[in-house]
Amino acid sequence: MTMRAVFPGTFDPIHFGHIDIARRGCALFDDLVIAVYDRPLKSLLFSPDERMELVRTAFEDDDNITVQGYRTLTVSFCTSINAQVLLRGLRVFSDFEHEFRMALANRRLAPEIDTVSLITSEKHTFLNSTTVREVASLEGDVSSMVPDFVQKALDEKLSQTRASEKEVYNSLRD
């Protein structure tokens, strides 16, 4: 039987913490599907297509990693692609309660799917996408947090945002 795992998340944008969990996770299973959630209950910087494209670029050389978007319940997505495992990353202790609650809820919804959580590597403990977006928007150095192509995408996206903010500001001033 092939063991397929799903690594779900928002990936807005993908960073080294995600990449580390995905690479370690894919070594444990036959194949890993990175599932990019379409409409989370949080505001996003990148569109679903842009987030997926960045994840795809990150894993273009990894044979057993594929990327798919989804907009249903995570366990429904797992069932639809015959995955038996939900892969998650655990950072600081504050993640634990949230992840624990989510794993139990998912278990209740789909008892045949198990959650496997990998503890983050020490250097990524405090890394999350919100920090990446904040540092980048204040023109800080994100090179230790994300690959070059993500840095480039952030620069482009944020300069577009700044330009449209400037336009609004100027139109209000005129």
For the annotated catalytic residues, the residue numbers are 18, 42, 91, 129
Shortest reach from residue 11's CB to ligand ADP, in Å? 5
- Of 14-22, 52-60, 70-78, 151-159, the window that binds ligand ADP (rule: CB under 6 A) is 14-22
139: left (phi over 0), alpha (psi -120 to 50) or beta: left
CB 3 within 8 A of CB 82: no
CA distances from 130 to 13, 16, 135, 174 (A): 9, 13, 9, 34
Map residues 112-141 to x or -, x wherever contact with ligand ADP holds by CB under 6 A. Answer: --------x---x--xxx------------
| Cα–Cα distance for residue pair 88/64, rounded to 1 Å | 17
Q: Which residues on neighbouring strands pair with residue 148, listed in sequence order?
A: none
**Which residues inside 35-94 make contact with ligand ADP, applying CB under 6 A?**
88-89, 91
- Measure the CA–CA gap between 44 and 47, rounded to whole angstroms: 7
Residue closer to ligand ADP, measured from CB, 18 or 157:
18
Residue 123 CB, nearest approach to ligand ADP (Å): 9
Contact with ligand ADP (CB under 6 A): which of 4, 5, 6, 17? 17
